[in-house]
Amino acid sequence: MNQNLAFADYAVFIIYFIVVSTYGYVIYRKREKNEHDAKAYFLAEGTLTWWAIGASLIASNISAEQFIGMSGEGFFLGIAVAAYEWIAAIALIIVAVWFIPVYLKNKIYTMPQFLKTRYNESTALIMAVFWLFLYVFVNLTSILYLGAIAINGLAGGGYLHAIMIGLSVFALLISLGGMKVVAYTDVIQVAVLIIGGLVTTYIALTTVGMYFGVGENAIEGFKVLMREAPEHFKMIIPKPTAESSQLDINKYLTFPGVMAYLAGIWIVNLNYWGCNQYITQRALGADLQTARTGILFAGILKLFMPLIVMLPGIAAYVLYSKGYLPQLVGGKDGAYSAVLTFLPTGLKGLSVAALTAAIVASLAGKINSISTIYTLDIHKKYIQKEATDRQQVNIGRIAVFGAMLLAVIFTWEDLLGIGGVGGFTYIQKYTGFISPGIFAMFFLGMFWKRTTGTAALVGVISGFVLSVLFNEFAPGLFGNETFLYTAYSNGHGGYEIPFLICMGLSFFFTMFLMIVVSFAGPKVNPKAFELDTEMFKIKPQTTVLIVVTLLIIFALYAKFW
């Protein structure tokens, strides 16, 4: 169980680096004739296939916070955390069928552009600035920091800053070529991510089988997990009672059983997959059928992600609880790294490559979105209105470099304190407060013609204020038990409402306020989108993908409910 990487591990990693870099360069050379076409650079307009869109969506989504954070939640909660992945598959169906047609019909290329087209310039500018700050100082920094910490630990320590720079440079090399290079290199990245992740899961299960005397057999190892930790294979966390331990209460606070499905988990997923420049950008340059197929392909891939990012955490829990994992340090977030120590030479390098692929793909995708929002929604509109396509591409590349430089500066000595709360928690904390308001603004803006620009501003502000109220102050102001919620002891002298329930409450009241404000305006807002039933019709092959996805989800919930 050597925790350091051997020569063969470095060799595997270097081969991965060379393959991705070479492929990225080939793709870049192919688009050289369009090198200074702004839409080609930012959106890869008309050049992405459905499989490239789907693979890029997954590669951009799965990063260090999933590998490390979700494995940690698998260690702590068990299979219940897989709901984030499986509900995401349903959210992707909703986005493919109802959201993407609205974007494409109205020629929407960025999320701030949506807000300007549907509401007003002020709303678009406010949110563009906000998204830039969020992407740079929350997402980029946490992905870079958590990724560097994880790889540094696997490499034996002492290389944190060198790894940080290496990840940044790798992401820059990919992103400077534009969205087409990002998306097509993501195809390799997601292949490495899935293969490396499955190898780790296989080794984890065979290791469990070996220690529990059933042989080095992955199937038998999985049966051992179900036998030794049956509570880790229940999708629904039971509601605490007066006799519940603090551990059980903490689990419910993290994922509040059935209420999670009636409240925030839908907002998390629909906002992330449908109203997020970082994600939707991959589909906004394609035709409707290609975009739909790519999104649904990503949804099918999401169904299998718990095998990679959650199951190793459960294996770590069973091994640790029986004293077979003394190398686990740092609590639940150390679960994935501890499992990797069982991998033989060479395969450990493949798993590090998978982790690196996840980190680099997310970094590259994020800075490409930062570049797109800054160039198209701020620089061209307010700073250099007559900028040519060539100038826009150059500005975009400068923005890519600037965003990555800021991320390195703020993570170099962890100025933002990401390590204190953990990268996964850091992201959830600072994005979860605004998700209800943003999603309400987008949802009503798409599908209710009466929604006004004033209501949109009210929605963003009230969504944030209500999230803070329910998360931080409601138990103290209104008591621990009301008809809206129940607050539970957090083990630190205070009481909390489960975070996902807070999101649901914030969304409900934000929608209510936006609807009331909109009734003060005209029955049909002049900026409302024109919708027709033809936009939402789906082809037979699309129906097949949707039915297959839903059947798999039904089977999974029937098995593990």
Write down the mean pLDDT value for the chain: 84
pLDDT band at 2 (very low <50, low <70, confident <90, very high): very low
Q: What is the pLDDT of residues 138-184, one digit of tens each?
A: 888 888 887 787 777 677 667 788 888 988 888 887 776 666 666 66
DSSP reduced 3-state for 489: strand
pLDDT in tens, 299-355: 999 998 898 888 999 999 999 988 888 877 666 777 887 888 888 877 777 777 777
> Which residue do the tokens 């994880």 mark?
150
Ramachandran angles phi, psi of 496, nearest 5°? -135, 150
What residues pair up with 496 in beta bridges, in sequence order? 488
pLDDT for 542: 93
Question: Which range in 25-39, 78-92, 271-285, 358-372 is most confidently predicted, on average pLDDT?
Answer: 78-92
pTM for the structure as a whole: 0.85
**Is 478 a residue whose pLDDT tops 90?**
yes
Nearest Cα residue to 120 out of 516, 489, 455, 517: 455
Quote the distance between the C-alpha of residue 384 and its chain's center: 33
When pLDDT is cut at 50, 70 and 90, the band that residue 199 belongs to is confident
Mean pLDDT over 2-19 rounds to: 75
Q: How far apart are CA 25 and CA 33, in angstroms?
A: 14
Would you place residue 469 in the very low, low, confident or very high pLDDT band (cuts 50, 70, 90)?
very high
How much is the pLDDT for 179? Answer: 61
Flag whether pLDDT at 1 surpasses 50: no
- The whole-angstrom separation of Cα 129 and Cα 275 is 16
Q: Is the pLDDT of residue 518 over 90?
A: yes
Mean pLDDT for the stretch of residues 464-477: 92
Domains and CATH numbers, the chain: 27-415+424-432+531-560 (1.20.1730.10)
Which has the minimum average pLDDT: 35-44, 215-224, 308-317? Answer: 35-44
Q: Bigger pLDDT: 405 or 8?
A: 405
Q: What pLDDT band is residue 425 in, cutting at 50, 70 and 90?
A: low
For 507: left if phi > 0, alpha if psi spans -120 to 50, otherwise beta; the answer is alpha
CB atoms within 10 A of CB 19: 14
Encode pLDDT of 111-143 as tens digits.
888 888 999 888 888 888 888 888 888 888 888
- Contact predicate 199/350, CB 8 Å: yes
pLDDT score of 47 = 65
Average pLDDT value for residue range 430-455: 90
Dihedral pair phi/psi, residue 495, rounded to 5°:
-125, 145
pLDDT of the residue at 384 = 84
Among the residue ranges 11-20, 240-249, 252-261, 479-488, the one predicted with the least confidence is 11-20
Average pLDDT for residues 36-45, to the nearest whole number? Answer: 55
pLDDT at 303: 93
Q: Determine what percent of the chain is predicted with pLDDT higher than 90.
A: 31
- Greatest mean pLDDT among 7-11, 120-124, 362-366, 467-471 lies in 467-471
Per DSSP, the three-state class of 486 is strand
pLDDT at 421 over 60: no
pLDDT at 181: 66
SS3 62: coil
Long-range contacts for 245-252 (Cβ within 8 Å, ≥24 apart)? 246/489, 246/491, 249/488, 249/489, 249/490, 249/491, 250/490, 250/491, 251/76, 251/77, 251/80, 252/488, 252/498
Quick check: 426 and 64 in contact, CB under 8 A? no
- The lowest-confidence range among 32-41, 104-113, 454-463, 530-539 is 32-41
* Helices then strands, each counted (H, E), the chain: 29, 2
Enter the tokens of residue 400.
Answer: 């890519």
Considering only 12-16, 120-124, 404-408, 540-544, which range has the smallest mean pLDDT? 12-16
pLDDT-based confidence at residue 255 (cuts at 50, 70, 90): confident
Q: Can you give 314-382 as a three-state secondary structure string?
A: HHHHHHHHCCCCCCCCCHHHHHHHHHHCCCCCCHHHHHHHHHHHHHHHHHHHHHHHHHHHHHHHHHHHH
Q: How many residues does the chain have?
A: 561
The per-residue pLDDT for 307 is: 87
Report whether pLDDT(205) > 90: yes
What tokens does 51 get? Answer: 């499989």
What lies within 8 Å, CB to CB, of 63 at 6+ separation is 143, 147, 358, 359, 361, 362
